[in-house]
Structure 1
Amino acid sequence: MQKIERLVAITLLLQARGKMTAQRLANILGTSTRTIYRDINTLSLAHVPISMDYGPGGGYYLPEDYQFDSTIFTREEAVSLILSTDIAGNYSLFAGDDGLHRALIKLEATLPEEYRSDVRAARERILFDTSAWCSGPNKTTYLESIRSALLGTVQIEIRYPCISCVDGAGVKWRRVDPIGLVFKGVSLRHIRTGVWYLVAYCHTCKKYQTFRVGNIENLKVLELRADPHPDFDLQTYWKSERALIEGFQQPLTMRLEITPEARQRLEGRYTILTTQPNGSIVVQVQASSIESAVSYVLSFGTDATVLAPEEVRAAVSLTARAIAEKYHSAAKRNAS
């Protein structure tokens, strides 16, 4: 979360929830108490009338009649502020809190009309899918850069572990037009969980692609304007794409052949089906998704062979090739 976004989040929290300690603010915003102290000092210097009560039951608070002055924002900051908790990955900050929603609505209403127009345009390109589908938190190193490129309508280059590109699998640079951002997760109060996806037009594949933001290994923002895509509808595209992604999230059963040396490394829900003459065993293993199945198999290195299903065998093969390409590229860079 950028500093200007965090400052407004603190102000909205104090408006909506009343007195709050620095520790409580730090926990909600995912930062340190030292950062909160600096932010409170910054707000005071900007003439935001924050007061402090000491002792048990104390904390920071604002006058009940305080009104936030939105004229201090630039156009870009205004867009960031309204979408701040979502874009920064703290999607749950406002979820289920009517007081915060009201405070945010009041803040948005004070923005100049041209700023509100930009906010509306940004919302068309940023989708929050909160259908019942849960995933663990993931890194979002390049999320802010992607957001800026998306709203600024400029191209980016991403280094990404592709498994189905037209020029073969591997970790490759791709020049893309960012079209939209999608947060896929669950809307539970104060639960930060979900996955960010970048929807973009890939100039190599000549088609729209979905990239998991947490898998992007490097990113460059270019000075090239992104091509217009006036007929692209993010909602319609995501409905179709979500069905494909959720196919990778469905529980499945796989059969593996495990070498004698690796038997003691078996874990999770598995059943030994047969023992081979050479001491290897065939096991049935339950996995929560294709992604988790691939991780499980690769943890054995060459000591595990996927017998079924075919989609897991193919996914393991493609992932292994991408890993090999990554290390091959690293070796070439180090050699030079």
Structure 2
Amino acid sequence: MQKIERLMAITLLLQARGKMTARRLAEILGTSTRTIYRDITSLSLSHVPISMDYGPGGGYYLPADYQFDSTVFTREEAVSLILSTDIAGNYSLFAGDDGLHRALIKLEATLPEEYRSEVREARERIFFDMTAWRFGSARTSYLEQIRSAVLQALKVDILYPCVSCVDTPGMRWRRLDPIGLVFKGLSLKHIRTGIWYLVAYCHTCRTYQTFRVGNIENIRVSEEVVCEHQNFDLRTYWKEERSLSEANQPPIGVILHISEEARHKLEGRYTILEAHPDESIIVEVKLNSVEVAVPYVLAFGIQAIVIEPDEVRIAVANAARQIAEQYYT
């Protein structure tokens, strides 16, 4: 999340939820308390009237009659802000909070018409798909450059490990017409994870392809404008792409260490790989996807540990952390 997006999120959180500590804001936004302190200072310098109560029950808060002023943002920042709130729902930042949703609707309504038209155009190029898929989170080193190229319709060259192109596969530079970005996340609300994909026309393959942003090794943004593909429908393409990918995905083999007390809870297709003297076992369970694996593992409580794959370990750890936060905040 970029700084300008964090500033907006902090303001909306305080406006909708009332008093909040720096620690709680840092947990929600996935950053450090030190960063939150700096962000609060930036907001104060921008004349956002944030106040602070010290001691038990203290925290930052806004006046009850405070109204978010969208005129402090440039056109580019406004587009970024609204898109960041779209994706924030996928990270459970705004999920299930009617107050925040009302604040977001009010914020977007105050934008000048020329800003709103660019937001509508951007939404046609950036799509958030929250139907479940098997993969976990991935690095997105070049996401901001790619998002900028998509919104400005600029051609890009990427260094990418292509295996599906018609010529020699391998790590090569590819000239692309970027069409849109898709965030593919898990459907479980409590998991803050997902993958960004770039949908583009590949001039080497002479066809539309999907590129995983985390696998891009380098990028060069051209000044050449993309003038074609106006009739390309990102959502229709992605629906067909997802159906094909899901049809070709084999079940996941999840390897678990199960205590003796929990062996009776095992269900489904599983194979015992090892038996230990303490009656615990190592098993491989065949599950259809990460989102199926998470509740399956959590049902064992502390009596099961995921050994592999890492994507399931990470998803289970994130889910357990979110559950714990509900009880300790």
Q: TM-score range by the shorter chain?
A: 0.7 to 0.9
Tell me whether 1:145 sits opposite 2:145 in the alignment. yes
1:134, 1:194 within 8 Å by CA — same for their partners in 2? no
What residue in structure 2 maps to residue 251 of structure 1? 251
Where do residues 164-183 of structure 1 align in structure 2 (5 Å cutoff)?
A: 164-183=164-183
Aligned to 1:316: none
Unmatched segments (≥5 aa) in structure 2: 254-269, 274-283, 290-329
Q: TM-score, length-normalised on structure 1?
A: 0.73
**What residue number does 2:224 align with?**
224
Name the aligned partner's letter for residue 170 of structure 1.
G
Contact 1:134 1:193 in 2 (8 A): no
What corresponds to 1:193 in structure 2? 193
- Listed as ranges, the matches of 1:37-116 within 5 Å are 37-86=37-86, 91-116=91-116
Aligned length: 265
Match of 1:22 in 2: 22
Sequence identity (%):
74
Question: Shift of residue 132 of structure 1?
Answer: 3.2
The 1:271–1:39 alpha-carbon spacing in structure 2 relative to 1, beyond 3 Å, is closer
Structure 2 matches for 1:150-165, cutoff 5 A?
150-165=150-165
| 1:213–1:87 Cα change, 3 Å | farther
TM-aligned CA deviation for residue 135 of structure 1: 3.0
Contact 1:135 1:193 in 2 (8 A): no
Please give the alpha-carbon distance, in whole angstroms, between the structure 2 residues aligned to 1:173 and 1:196. 20
TM-superposition CA deviations, 1:132-156 (whole Å, max 9, x none): 3353211111111111111111111
**Cα distance in 2, alignment partners of residues 251 and 52 from structure 1:** 51
Letter in 2 for 1:229: H
Shift of residue 213 of structure 1? 1.2
Identify which range, 17-26 or 185-194, moves more after superposition: 185-194
Aligned residue identity for 2:117 = S
Give how far 1:86 is off.
4.7
Q: Which string of whole-angstrom CA distances, capped at 9 and with x for unpartnered residues, describes residues 263-319 of structure 1?
A: xxxxxx6689xxxxxxxxxxxx876689xxxxxxxxxxxxxxxxxxxxxxxxxxxxx
Tell me the distance in 2 between the aligned counterparts of 1:173 and 1:45: 44
Aligned position for 2:126: 126
CA distance in 2, matches of 1:209, 1:159: 15
Cα distance in 1 for residues equivalent to 2:190 and 2:54: 27
1:236 aligns with 2:244: no
Give the whole-Å Cα distance in 1 for the aligned partners of 2:210 and 2:170: 16
C-alpha change, 1:252 and 1:16, in structure 2 (3 Å) is closer
- Conserved? CA contact 1:181–1:198, under 8 Å: yes
Q: Which sections of structure 1, spanning at least 5 residues, go unmatched?
A: 254-268, 273-284, 291-336
Please say which of residues 128-137 and 62-71 is displaced more in the overlay: 128-137
1:44 alignment partner AA: S
CA RMSD of aligned residues (A): 2.5
The alpha-carbon distance between structure 1 residues 92 and 233, as it changes in their structure 2 partners (threshold 3 A), is same
TM-fit CA distance, 1:164: 1.1
Inter-partner Cα distance in structure 2 for 1:81 and 1:169 = 38
Residue 92 of structure 1 aligns to a residue whose secondary structure is coil
